[in-house]
Amino acid sequence: MNDEVLIAESPSQGALMPALQARIDRTVSCLRAGSTLTPFSRCAAGAGSGRDVQFLELLAAYRRSGGLATGSEIAARRPGVGLGELARIIARRELISLDWGGHRWLPVFQFEDGDVTVRESVGALVEELSVALDDWELAQWFVDPNSWLNGATPLQLVHDDFARVHDAARALRFVCKN
């Protein structure tokens, strides 16, 4: 069963589909059991092992779009910008980043070629979703199949069909915040 959020055809009515109710039920079950929650309500056996598996999944999912790199690697690839500027962008949550293994990891696709400027389309999506999702959930959202995108991932469509991806992000924010 997909763990993505589904809402009724008329989002303004706010009716919940069975998949969303199942997600809520799994989340409540995880909380009652005292488990560590990983993004999109997957119960993990333990905090370390769940994050490790999730990181490896994200690493594989982002591979086709440039992969994941540490903040230091990104800064080194962009001479003249430096780690300080990248740290400021990360602190303002203007891009996708997550902590794992003592490093800050960033998907490479989100940067313009040749510097650490965040692509405008990615920045708009991050701004839309950062109020509703944590860093891990945000990274996961880009690579999970999305019902609003007919099963495609936001990462697959972000550059070619930004309007649809932005609508999917708004729908998720609406569901998460209301």
The answer as to whether 140 is a domain residue is yes
For residue 19, is it within any domain? no
Let me know if residue 29 belongs to a domain.
Answer: no
CA distance 27 to 13: 23
In a domain, 109, yes or no: yes
Asked if residue 101 belongs to a domain, the reply is yes
Specify the pLDDT at position 17.
42
Domain count, the chain: 1
What span, in angstroms and rounded, lies between the C-alpha atoms of 165 and 149? 7
By residue range, what is the domain housing residue 75?
A: 46-177
Q: What percent of the chain has pLDDT over 70?
A: 71
pLDDT in tens, 66-106: 999 999 888 887 766 678 888 888 999 999 999 999 999 99
Tens digits of residue pLDDT in 104-145: 999 999 998 777 788 999 999 999 999 999 999 999 999 999
Look up the pTM and report it.
0.71
Note whether residue 28 is domain-resident: no
